[in-house]
Amino acid sequence: MSALSGFSHGYRASGVLLHVASLPSPYGIGDLGPSALAFIDHLHEAGQSWWQVLPLGPTGYGNSPYQPLSTFAGNELLFSPEGLIDDGLLRRDACTGKSFSNAAVDYAAVIPFKRQLLQMAWTAFSTGARPDLRSPFDQFCHDQRHWLEDYALFRALKARYDGAYYLEWPAKLAQRDPATIALARGELASQIDMVRFAQFLLSRQGGRVKEHARSKGVYLFGDLPFFVAPDSSDVWTHPELFLLDEQQKPRFVAGVPPDYFSADGQLWGNPVYDWEAMRRTGYRWWVDRLDAWLGHVDLVRLDHFRAFAAAWHIPAGSLTAKTGEWSPGPGADLFTEVEKELGALSFIAEDLGLITPDVNELRNQFHLPGTRVLQFAFDGSSDNPHLPQNYEQNTVVYTGTHDNPPTRVWFEKLGDQQKQNVSASVGRPSLDNGEVTAALIESAWSSVAALAIAPLQDLLNLGPGAETNVPGNPDGNWRWRCTEEMLAALDVQWLRDLTVRSNRHLN
C-alpha cells in the first residue's frame, strides 16, 4: 500500500476484525500475550494480511474503547500476565486460583485482578527485579513525557478520588493550579510511577506483537476514535482545545442525527473541538496523537471521518441527538499539516453515515480509501454505494463492523424482499440463514475493493449473543469473547482457498 495515493493500483488483500479484549485468555480478558501471537499465526495460516483491532486506549464510561481516558495511553487491562511471568516480574502462582468466564468479559472481576497483578509486578521491579529494564523504562518515560506525565498524574488522582469525574475533584486540581499540581505530583509519586510502568509494559508487549506479525507477513490495522471522553486526561490537560464553558463543562457534545442505527440519533456526549484553537498550534495535538498510534500499528482507521468536514454539535443537556447542527471541521488544513509533519498518510476513512459531497471531496483530495459495509447494501436501490458493483478500487469492504450484528443475525431479521435482494446480489436463487454469511464473505472477497475485512464472528458464522456493540444501548457492550474452541473450529482452509481464489493472498 502506498498511503499517499491510497491503495496502489492492483493491490488486493484481506483480513479479520477482532477486538484484542475478545481474544481467548485464562485471565478474564484478551491481552497482548500468547493468544495474540497465536491469533496472528491463525491469520498467517489462513492467508490473511491484516488484523484490524478496535481502539486500544484505557477505557472509562461503559468500558467503551471509543470513550478513552487518554488518546495516547494504552489500556492497562490488556497487559499479558504471561509476559510478566516470562520477564521475571510476576510469579506464576500469583495468577492462579481465580476463574473467569471464557465467553464474556466480567469487568467487575477483571479490573481488580489485573490491578493486583500490576501492583505485584511494579513492586518487584521497584525493589530490584530486572535491573536491565531500568534504562529502557527511563528512556520510555523521557520519550513519552509530553503526554505520559499528565496522564499518570490524572490516573493517580482518579484513584485518590475513587474514580470521580475530574470536575468533581477539588477546584484547584480540576483547574490545574500549578502549586497544587506540583504538590500532588510529590504526594502521589509512587502511584504515578506505577502508571508510567504499566504504559512501559504495554509498549514492550505491543512491540512484540507487532514484530511477530511482521515476521508472519501480517500487518496491524488500528482504530482512532475521532473524539475523546469528557473525563479524560486530554480534556483536563488541554481544556483550551475544546468548546467548554467557564466551569470547563462542554458547551456542546458530539453525536449523530437520526440514522440507520437509531431513530433518535446517537448522543455520545463527548466534548467537541475548538478548531480555531487547534489551528493556532499547527494542530500539534492531532499530529502527536496520530504519530503515537502509527508507532503501534501499520494503518489507522479514522473513525467518524465525516467530522473532519463537519460534526453534529448537540447543545449540552439535550436528551436526544435530534437537536443539533452541523459545525465545520478542520477540513484539508489538518491533513496538509499532518502530511507535512508525518509524511505518508497511512489512514482509512470511515466514511459511513450521512455523507455529504464535502466529505467525499476531502477524502478524495488526500486519496484516502473509503469504507463500505455489505449489510447496508440491500435496500433495493441500484445506486446504493455499499453494493459491490458500485465500489471503486480504493476501498475497504466489510461484511459488517463492530457496530453491526453478526451477519447471520442481521439476515434473520430482514424482511422477505430484502432477503431476496441479498440472494439476487450474490447470484443465488435463495439463501438460508446458515449460508448467508459465507456468501457475503465471498462477495466481499471477490469485489474490486482493495481490502476486504470480516469480523471473526462472521468467519465463525455465529448467531445471537456474539455482538460486540449495539449502538444506542449503553449496557452490556464490549464483552464478547472468542474461545479456544471457536478458534479451533475456524475453517482455515476454506478461508485460505477463498483468499487465493480472489487474488488477495499476500503472505
List pLDDT tens digits, range 301-345: 999 999 999 999 999 999 999 999 999 999 999 999 999 999 999
- Report residue 211 as a C-alpha cell: 514484530
- The answer as to whether 506 is a domain residue is no
Q: At what angle do helices 189-215 and 107-126 cross, to 10 degrees?
A: 100
124 has a pLDDT exceeding 90: yes
Catalytic sites, residue numbers = 303, 350, 403
Tell me the DSSP string of 52-110: E----SPB-GGG-TTSBS-SSS--GGG--HHHHHHTTSS-GGGG-S----SSB--HHHH
Residue the block writes with cell 477483571: 110
* Cβ neighbour number for residue 65 with a 10 Å cutoff: 25
**Residue 267's CATH number:** 3.20.20.80
Coil, helix or strand at residue 396: strand
- The answer as to whether 8 is a domain residue is no
Higher confidence at residue 192 or residue 265? 192
Q: Kindly report which listed range (22-31, 90-99, 269-278) carries the lowest average pLDDT score.
A: 90-99
60 has a pLDDT exceeding 90: no
130 has a pLDDT exceeding 50: yes
Bridge partners of 347, per DSSP, are: 300
| φ, ψ of residue 138 in degrees (nearest 5) | -60, -40
| φ, ψ of residue 206 in degrees (nearest 5) | -65, -35
- Per-residue pLDDT, averaged over 44-53, amounts to 98
**Alpha-carbon gap, residue 29 to 132, rounded angstroms:** 29
**What is the residue range of 435's domain?**
13-274+282-380+387-501
Coil, helix or strand at residue 381: coil
pLDDT tens digit string along 353-407? 889 999 999 999 999 999 999 999 999 999 999 999 999 999 999 999 999 999 9
Helix (H) or strand (E) holding 173: helix 171-174
Domains of the chain: total: 1
Residue the block writes with cell 449503553: 474
- The answer as to whether 441 is a domain residue is yes
pLDDT the model gives residue 443? 98
- The answer as to whether 428 is a domain residue is yes
Residue the block writes with cell 523504562: 137
- The answer as to whether 2 is a domain residue is no
- Report residue 24 as a C-alpha cell: 481467548
pLDDT band at residue 3 under the 50/70/90 scheme: very low
- The answer as to whether 507 is a domain residue is no
Query: What are the DSSP E strand ranges found in 280-338?
Result: 299-302, 310-315, 325-328
- Report residue 157 as a C-alpha cell: 488522582
pTM score above 0.85: yes
Bridge partners of 311, per DSSP, are: 327
Higher confidence at residue 354 or residue 80? 80
* Residue 50 contacts residue 15 (beta carbons within 8 Å): yes
CA distance readout (Å), 163 to 109, 166, 176: 17, 8, 18
* Cβ neighbour number for residue 247 with a 10 Å cutoff: 9
Provide the residue count of the chain: 507
